[in-house]
Amino acid sequence: MSRIFFTLACLALVLMVVTLSVGLSLGQLKPQLEQLQVLSTGAAAAAAQRASPVDDEVLAEIALLEGVKKRANAHRLLGIATGVLVLLVNCLAVTYFVGTARWCREVVEAYQLDGTLFGRSARMKRGAFFWAVIGMLTILTISSLGAMSDPMAAFANGEQYVTPHLIAAMLGVGLIAWSFLAQWQHILDHHDVIEEVLAAVQKIRAERGLDVAS
């Protein structure tokens, strides 16, 4: 489990960095899209009226702005994929602790083991849940600000969310990385607790002759 979580967490962080890099390459998106609209409309009108050929510089600028638009679409799609993956990684940790913490409690109670084993398990579960929620809220905040700042989304005064989205994304990478690290450490520590529980159970079963073949 720890290796699966670590691998998916690293992939999510790489996607976050790539998405952030693509976003930074866009610059001020709204003015560029507006300029593209004007130039494309003018070029289309000139072609329809069979006027003089469109200037090569205009065509080059349209091509450049079309590239920006494609990167904006890529940034949008990468953001969606990254958000889903970050949520998945956090949900994976939550699901793991829901199952294993319950197992620890039931085994400790069934075999009347040292109650501190379940106590340690419960503390790790609470710690992992805390950081999982932090990670989820962080990526949702970044995604929400990104959606509100998107010129294609037609939010009123969307440009005022561009800077908050950028700041949230840059800080969010570090915060989510820290939350993944904390959850991974809790998973590793919880594995040790599970090993202790299994060792105690095996000892009791051996003492009672429960594992002796009939």
The dihedral through the CA atoms of 91, 96, 102, 104 has a sign that is negative
Q: Is 87 a residue whose pLDDT tops 70?
A: yes
For position 34, what pLDDT does the model report?
A: 67
pLDDT above 90 covers what percent of the chain? 47
Query: Which residues neighbour 173 within 8 Å (Cβ) at sequence distance 6 or greater?
Result: 13, 16, 17, 20
Predicted confidence (pLDDT) per residue in 147-177, tens digit: 888 877 767 777 888 889 999 999 999 999 9
Mean pLDDT, residues 3-25: 93
Query: Quick one: what percent of the chain has pLDDT higher than 70?
Result: 82
| 211: three-class secondary structure by DSSP | coil
Average pLDDT over residues 177-197: 94
Q: Where are the domains of the chain?
A: 2-24+79-207
Looking at residue 158, the DSSP 8-state letter turns out to be: G
Per-residue confidence (pLDDT) for residue 214, from 0 to 100? 43
The pLDDT of residue 133 is above 90: yes
pTM across the whole model: 0.85
pLDDT digits (tens, 9 = 90+) for 35-86: 767 666 766 666 666 555 556 676 677 676 677 778 888 888 999 999 999 9
